Structure formats: structure tokens, C-alpha cells
Amino acid sequence: MLTIGTRGSALALAQTTWVRNQILSRFPDTRVTLKVIKTSADKDAASSIRSGSGVGVFVKEIEEALLAREIDLAVHSMKDVPTTIPDGLEIGAIPEREDPHDALITRGQAGTLDELRSGSVIGTGSVRRIAQILVLRSDLRILDIRGNVDTRLQKLASGAYDAIILACAGLNRLGLGGRISARLPFDQMLPAPGQGALALEIRKDDPIAHPLIAALHHVPSAVSVLAERAFLRRMGGGCNAPVAVHATYDEGRVKIEGLLAALDGSRVIRDSVIGDHDMAEEAAAALADRIRTQGVRDRLESLL
């Protein structure tokens, strides 16, 4: 028997159902049940994530249930998982990553960020996205937006926004990839650390859960994602910091691109490094040090 903990949103349930089906396809005699757990973010859906610390608001209660042995496995969106894991828990597997790009979804005829008219209203709750949008288009208006994917799409359709930005991965997992107006290229919009990846979290002392999820672990995705998390950890930022990073694994080498920007888009620091896969986290930390040093000179350090 295996009990999987998850948030109750359509996306969280889609991700968790995929994990359950993958386990059952390999271990058909396993009894797998799902337990929906409300997190801090779910309990206060009206407030902006940026109004508080933001760290762990999507996972805290699920991790508590895991430690209390109320569930045996937690399925998270990796970008929601803080860089510090509670004692007694570990990320047991990272499945193959979905598309890590950000998606622009427009209400009118505009198909790209460049085609939006001056003064267009963009909906996003991410300072990372806000800063990078303003680097490219300081003439656009940014308004906060909350809610699950369906709620945000409804707000766009109602005319509250001219465009919104969501993760391609979430739209794809919900079968809504056709709604994407443009996949924003990395030279325009670097993603959040771990965007598009899932984190399968278990108790370290659980001898049953780990074998059930081991086959789902995808090494190239894990190497890239762990490097991105090492970058964020070294930068000292959470989801409220305008920090972005993306790592690409290719034939034993990993390229890591990182970014720190001013909230208003007036200044941006971007750098990259290439290293061996077995030293990817160290390379990511070194890249973060370089960007932090430049951030001190550019007076951006206070954002972290």
C-alpha cells in the first residue's frame, strides 16, 4: 500500500495521477491511494504570494503529513520545493522534465511579446517574470494574478488582462498546450529553478517507497535540476527574488545560465558556465558567486 499526498488543484492531481499510473504500470499489485492536502497557498488564495515570505507555501503541510506518516510519497512541482529539505525527508526521484519554458497566452491577435501594444496589461504573480518582461518591454503594465491555471485563463478571457504568463509544463500536463500563443525563448525569459520538473519526496527511512519510484528517476533531468537548485541556494533567494536559472545536460556536460535583475527591469546581470555533469552543482554555485559579486557592484544584492 502506498498513499500519495498532493494539493487539490487540477494540475497537482494530473501530476500525481501520472506518477500513480507509472508506479502501477511497473508494480500492478501495489495499492495506491491519493490524499488531497490543503497547503498554506490553498488556504489563502486571495493574497499575493509576494505579500509573505513565499517559501514553502505550496509544500509545508504536505511535508508535515509525510513526516507524520499520514502519507508515504509527496508529489510536488519542483519549483515550489525550498532548497532546504526537512530532516528525515529526501527527494527520492526526479522524473523526466517537461518543457521548462514560460508561455505567453494572449487574448487578442498578438502572438508574441513584441506584438503586444504599448500599455497592454500582463498578468503574473512572479517577480522573476515581471523583471524579465520589463527588461524587454518597459512600456507594458504588470498586474498581479492568483489562482489555478483554469482561473487564470478565465480572468484572461474576461478581459482583466491582455496576456498572462504561465509555465508551458503545466499547460501541457493539463492538455492545454494549444492555448499557448508563444513559448518564450530563454534569451527573453529564463525559467524558475526546477521549472517543468517534478519532485517525488519520501521519508529517508522508508524501505518501500523508494523502490517503487526508483525507475521514474531521470538522470539528465536530475543533474540539470539539482544544478539549478544549487544556484538558487547559493544566491540565497526564494520565489520572491528576481532570480532565474536554466541548466542543460548534454553528453556529460552541463551548461548553466543564471540571471539576477532589478525588480523594475532597469538592470540585469546574466552569465553562464559549462562544467562536467559530476561537478554541475559546484559549477552552479560558482556561477552564483560571480553574479552575486556583480550584484554587489550594481547594488542588486539587497534583493536576495
Asked if residue 89 and residue 24 are part of one domain, the reply reads yes
Asked if residue 127 and residue 88 are part of one domain, the reply reads no
For 188-237, what is each residue's pLDDT tens digit?
Answer: 999 999 999 999 999 998 999 999 999 999 999 999 999 999 999 999 86
| pLDDT for the residue numbered 57 | 84
Element spanning 150, H or E: helix 149-157
Mean pLDDT of 122-128: 95
Q: Which residues contact 49 (CB under 8 A, 6 or more apart)?
A: 41, 57, 125, 146, 239, 240
Element spanning 135, H or E: helix 127-136
Element spanning 104, H or E: strand 102-106
Asked if residue 11 and residue 73 are part of one domain, the reply reads yes
| pLDDT for the residue numbered 108 | 85
Closest CA to 61 of 52, 48, 51, 70: 70
Please report, for the domain that includes residue 125, its CATH number: 3.40.190.10
Distance (Å, whole) CA 74 – CA 7 = 9
Amino acid at 259: L
Catalytic residue among 42, 44, 72, 80: 80
Contact of 256 with 244, CB cutoff 8 Å = no
- CB-facing half-sphere around the CA of 19: CA atoms within 13 A: 35
Mean pLDDT of 18-38: 97
Give the chain's domain count. Answer: 3
Contact of 107 with 117, CB cutoff 8 Å = no
Domain assignment of residue 224, yes or no:
no
Q: Which residues contact 243 (CB under 8 A, 6 or more apart)?
A: 128, 193, 232, 235, 237, 258, 259, 260, 304
Mean pLDDT of 130-145: 96
Q: What is the DSSP string of 152-208?
A: HHHHHHTTS-SEEEEEHHHHHHTT-GGG-SEEE-TTT----TTTT-EEEEEETT-TT
Mean pLDDT of the chain: 92
The torsion angles phi and psi of 30, rounded to 5 degrees, stand at: -80, 135
| pLDDT for the residue numbered 128 | 95
| pLDDT for the residue numbered 45 | 55
- CB-facing half-sphere around the CA of 227: CA atoms within 13 A: 31
Asked if residue 107 and residue 69 are part of one domain, the reply reads no
Alpha carbon 261 to its chain's center: 18
Sheet holding 2-6, edge to edge: 32-36, 2-6, 73-77, 198-203, 89-93
Whole-number percent of the chain with pLDDT over 90: 85
Mean pLDDT of 23-50: 81
Sheet holding 182-184, edge to edge: 141-143, 121-123, 163-167, 102-106, 182-184
What is the extent of the structural domain holding 91? 2-95+197-217
Q: Look at the block and give the residue holding cell 500513480.
A: 20
Q: Is 187 a catalytic residue?
A: no
Asked if residue 213 and residue 143 are part of one domain, the reply reads no
Asked if residue 81 and residue 38 are part of one domain, the reply reads yes
Asked if residue 78 and residue 154 are part of one domain, the reply reads no
Helix then strand then coil, in percent of the chain rounded to 5, is 35, 25, 40
For 146-166, what is each residue's pLDDT tens digit?
Answer: 999 999 999 999 999 999 999
